[in-house]
């Protein structure tokens, strides 16, 4: 959960530092709460402040009651004299109860709002940063850790309320004690020290343990998830991996149980020591009180009120220390949320820019060189790449695995900026272009296009998520992608949920998914279509059909960029660029490249040979 990033938390958890940090943490809570709901925040602060006043009134009332009862006039007269004070104490207690209910309600309204607001801010921020930030290992780790910040923010607000309440009760008790006799207040603090020491010692041990065991517990929970993971289920069964995983899960869990038992032992010992010390300090406090009574420094009634105030004050201080300890833990995750905002500043996708032409456009790549930020590879992924993608034509990018084809299309779409050189989209430099407009000009079917765990309708209509999804448009896209039969075969056609992990969900085959992916791109109806290995999961007939449909889309005026390893399919392209180790080594139409006898012709011949020379009987074809 990210604790491994918070080493400093352990050293930060001392009584002095915790108290020093308290105002800052309360301020964080107040800001979060105010932004979420100003009225509810005001209500909580007012109700808790008034509750503190009622506590002080109550304590002073008790002193008055005791003074009246213990007066020499006798118990009956004393009770009569005490009646107004009794009514005052009862009134204060009732008001306190009503105010507590008001806080419970307002706090209950406030906390979910704080969590929602914090989560929305975080998600919005994650959405607006460049792809390079998401691919940056350190930033992504921060994003993962910060996702716990929203629930921490919610908890912090609750803890903040309880700290305020405890603080006010403490001030009330301390104020009453100060009025009764100045020596009583230090005694109250002395009595609470052992409890505070125990709370902080146990928390520190827990943090240290969490820090040391975080990888272990994460690994154990990953193993347990693998056992129920849908994608792994077939292999787990056929290869008999289940007992292996279960054995390791059991061993790791047992090891962690030992650590938890150790922590419980330490906690029990610490609490016992603290209880003994509290007992001693209580004896000392009551001895001082008895001494004051003996010497006549305080009256009997005041001593009785002091006992009540000491008990109320020490329980308020106990509660405050334990709430502050929890706040300290949660504030670290809230701090991560703030870091997401600060560290993403300057990495946002720019808003506005040069207008991007609509309609059929050509793309020119001019001397582009590119390395992934933070990459340890010595040579760039793309080296001085220059090529053209003519409007309304099918342009194929071919090359071996890792030659840079997918990276190049990411640059063309504006997802990354070239380190040098430029890419012109209809004459507009993609670096200066209005990025939202540029994105809207592309429809992309990537190698690993996302399989949304939603209905078939949403899986296709999400291609233009900002517009209402109409049945006619969905049917047309399915027709263009050859996916009509797939949709017709689903139990609830467009309304079928495509995820087996939900009730009434349906599982598609790899090829059926691929057709829906192409339908999504067709639904998007953008002037440029980028298809990266669109037929990897298709049978031979379907493959031909998909290429025919891609051709038809180009004939309608769309610019198509096709990445594929199927050399037979490349024959239908208008233009082919061959990439090798990040550089363009050949360009031309397929027939021309074949005749040239270069790398394209070599790759083509390799694949063709596999069909021309069937393997000998008994030799493996795998
Ligand atoms: N996000 C990334 N961060 C760092 N390096 C990357 C990233 N994506 C790709 N690469 C590297 O860039 C190189 C080119 O990858 P790319 O995916 O563009 O190749 P490709 O030609 O599309 O390969 P394939 O045919 O296997 O799909 C590879 O060496 C790859 O390891």
Q: What is the 577 CA–ligand 1 centroid distance (Å)?
A: 17
Q: What is the 230 CA–ligand 1 centroid distance (Å)?
A: 28
What does the pLDDT look like over 571-602, one tens digit per residue?
A: 888 999 999 999 999 999 988 888 888 888 88
Residue 379 CB–ligand 1 contact under 6 Å: no
Across the range 192-202, mean pLDDT stands at: 84
- Residue 439 has a CB neighbour count (10 Å cut-off) of 16
Q: What is the 129 CA–ligand 1 centroid distance (Å)?
A: 21
Q: Which of 213, 196, 208, 214 is nearest to 148 (CA)?
A: 214
* Contacts of residue 207, Cβ cutoff 8 Å, sequence gap at least 6: 3, 6, 9, 10, 13, 329
Q: What is the 384 CA–ligand 1 centroid distance (Å)?
A: 17
Question: Which residue CA neighbors atom 26 of ligand 1 most closely?
Answer: 401
Determine the distance from the C-alpha atom of residue 405 to the mean position of all C-alpha atoms in its chain, rounded to a whole number.
31
Residue 517 CB–ligand 1 contact under 6 Å: no
Judge residue 465's burial from the number of C-beta atoms within 10 Å of its C-beta, 0-12 exposed, 13-18 middle, 19 or more buried: exposed
Q: Residue 392 and residue 512: Cα distance in Å, rounded?
A: 27
Give yes or no for a contact between 132 and 416, defined as CB atoms under 8 angstroms apart. Answer: yes
- pLDDT of 14 above 70: no
Select from 373, 404, 585 the residue to mutate for testing ligand 1; criterion: most ligand atoms less than 8 Å from CB. Answer: 404
Q: Residue holding tokens 């379907």?
A: 542
Q: What is the pLDDT of residue 18?
A: 65
Residue 325 CB–ligand 1 contact under 6 Å: no
Same fold, 352-441+527-609 and 450-525: yes
Across the range 7-26, mean pLDDT stands at: 63
Q: What is the 406 CA–ligand 1 centroid distance (Å)?
A: 7
Helix boundaries (H) for 181-229: 184-228
Across the range 343-353, mean pLDDT stands at: 86
Residue 372 CB–ligand 1 contact under 6 Å: yes
- Give the least confident one: 128-142, 440-454, 490-504, 607-621: 607-621
Question: Which residue CA neighbors atom 2 of ligand 1 most closely?
Answer: 372
Q: What is the 574 CA–ligand 1 centroid distance (Å)?
A: 25
Q: Which of 483, 481, 486 is nearest to 547 (CA)?
A: 481
The CATH class, in words, for 450-525 is alpha beta
Across the range 604-616, mean pLDDT stands at: 68
Q: What is the 560 CA–ligand 1 centroid distance (Å)?
A: 21
Residue 402 CB–ligand 1 contact under 6 Å: yes
Give helix then strand counts, H and E, for the chain. Answer: 21, 10
- ipTM for this prediction: 0.97
Residue 448 CB–ligand 1 contact under 6 Å: no
Q: Residue 587 and residue 609: Cα distance in Å, rounded?
A: 23
Q: Which of 488, 487, 531, 544 is nearest to 513 (CA)?
A: 487
Backbone conformation region of residue 346, classed left if phi is above 0, alpha if psi is from -120 to 50, else beta: left
What does the pLDDT look like over 104-152, one tens digit per residue?
A: 999 899 989 989 998 888 888 888 898 888 888 778 877 877 777 888 8
Q: Residue 591 and residue 601: Cα distance in Å, rounded?
A: 9
pTM score of the predicted model: 0.73
Length of the chain: 622
- pLDDT of 549 above 50: yes
Query: Phi/psi at 418 (nearest 5 deg)?
Result: -65, 150
Residue 406 CB–ligand 1 contact under 6 Å: yes
Across the range 419-443, mean pLDDT stands at: 92
Helix (H) or strand (E) holding 353: none
Domain 352-441+527-609 has CATH 3.40.50.300: yes
Q: Which of 421, 337, 300 is nearest to 115 (CA)?
A: 337
Q: Residue 527 and residue 558: Cα distance in Å, rounded?
A: 5
Q: What is the pLDDT of residue 156?
A: 84
Extract the tokens encoding 157: 């607000």
Residue 381 CB–ligand 1 contact under 6 Å: yes
Extract the tokens encoding 47: 């109700």
For the chain, the domains span 12-181+298-344, 352-441+527-609, 450-525
Q: What is the 582 CA–ligand 1 centroid distance (Å)?
A: 10
- The CA distances from residue 32 to 83, 117, 332, in Å, are 45, 9, 15
Strand arrangement of the beta sheet that strand 382-389 belongs to: 382-389, 363-370, 420-425, 428-429
Question: Which residue CA neighbors atom 13 of ligand 1 most closely?
Answer: 402
1 or 294, which is more confident: 294
Across the range 445-452, mean pLDDT stands at: 81
Pairing of strands 559-563, 394-399: parallel
Q: What is the 404 CA–ligand 1 centroid distance (Å)?
A: 6
Give yes or no for a contact between 44 and 33, defined as CB atoms under 8 angstroms apart. Answer: yes
């Amino acid at each position: 959960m990210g604790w491994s990033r918070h080493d400093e938390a352990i050293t930060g958890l001392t009584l002095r530092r915790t108290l020093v940090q308290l105002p800052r943490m309360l301020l964080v809570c107040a800001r979060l709460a105010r932004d979420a709901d100003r009225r509810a925040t005001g209500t909580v602060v007012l109700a808790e402040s008034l509750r503190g006043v009622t506590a002080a009134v109550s304590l002073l009332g008790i002193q008055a009651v005791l003074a009246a009862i213990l007066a020499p006039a006798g118990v009956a007269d004393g009770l009569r004299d005490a009646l107004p004070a009794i009514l005052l104490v009862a009134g204060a207690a009732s008001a306190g109860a009503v105010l507590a209910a008001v806080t419970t309600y307002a706090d209950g309204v406030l906390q979910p709002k704080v969590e929602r607001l914090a989560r929305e801010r975080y998600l919005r921020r994650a959405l607006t940063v460049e792809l390079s930030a998401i691919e940056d290992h350190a930033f992504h780790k921060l994003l993962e850790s910060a996702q716990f910040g929203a629930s921490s923010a919610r908890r912090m607000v609750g803890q903040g309320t309880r700290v305020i309440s405890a603080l006010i009760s403490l001030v009330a008790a301390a104020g009453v004690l100060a009025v009764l006799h100045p020596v009583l207040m230090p005694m109250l603090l002395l009595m609470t020290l052992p409890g505070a020491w125990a709370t902080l010692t146990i928390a520190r041990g827990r943090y240290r343990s969490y820090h040391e065991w975080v990888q272990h517990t994460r690994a154990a929970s990953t193993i347990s998830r693998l056992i129920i993971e849908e994608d792994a289920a077939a292999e787990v069964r056929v290869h008999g991996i289940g007992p292996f995983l279960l054995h390791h899960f059991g061993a790791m869990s047992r090891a962690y149980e030992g650590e938890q038992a150790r922590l419980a032992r330490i906690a029990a010992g610490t609490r016992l020591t603290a209880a003994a010390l509290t007992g001693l300090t209580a004896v000392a406090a009551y001895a001082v009180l008895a001494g004051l009574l003996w010497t006549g420094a305080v009256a009997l009634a005041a001593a009785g009120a002091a006992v009540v105030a000491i008990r109320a004050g020490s329980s308020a201080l106990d509660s405050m220390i334990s709430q502050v300890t929890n706040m300290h833990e949660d504030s670290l995750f809230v701090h991560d949320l703030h870091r997401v905002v600060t560290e993403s500043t300057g990495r946002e996708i720019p808003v506005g820019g040069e207008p991007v032409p609509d309609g059929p456009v050509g793309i020119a790549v001019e001397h582009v060189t590119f390395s992934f930020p933070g990459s340890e590879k010595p040579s760039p992924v793309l080296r001085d790449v220059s090529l053209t993608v003519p409007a309304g034509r099918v342009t194929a990018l071919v090359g071996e695995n890792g030659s840079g084809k997918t990276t190049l299309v990411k640059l063309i779409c504006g997802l990354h900026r070239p380190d040098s050189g430029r890419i012109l989209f209809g004459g507009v430099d993609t670096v200066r272009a209005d990025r939202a407009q540029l994105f809207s000009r592309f429809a992309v079917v990537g190698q690993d296009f996302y399989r949304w765990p939603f209905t078939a309708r949403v899986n296709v209509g999400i291609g233009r998520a900002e517009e209402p999804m109409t049945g006619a448009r969905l049917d047309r896209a399915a027709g263009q992608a050859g996916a009509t039969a797939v949709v017709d075969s689903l139990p609830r056609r467009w309304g079928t949920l495509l995820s087996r992990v939900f009730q009434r969900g349906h599982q598609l085959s790899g090829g059926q998914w691929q057709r829906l992916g192409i339908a999504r791109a067709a639904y998007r109806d953008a002037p440029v279509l980028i298809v990266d290995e669109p037929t990897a999961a298709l049978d031979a007939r379907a493959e031909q059909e998909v290429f025919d449909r891609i051709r038809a889309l180009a004939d309608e005026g769309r610019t198509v960029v096709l990445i594929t390893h199927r050399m037979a399919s490349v024959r239908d392209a208008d233009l082919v660029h061959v990439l090798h180790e990040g550089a363009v080594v050949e360009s031309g139409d397929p027939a021309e490249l074949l005749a040239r006898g270069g790398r394209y012709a070599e790759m083509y011949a390799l694949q063709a040979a596999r069909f021309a020379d069937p393997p000998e009987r008994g030799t493996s074809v795998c």
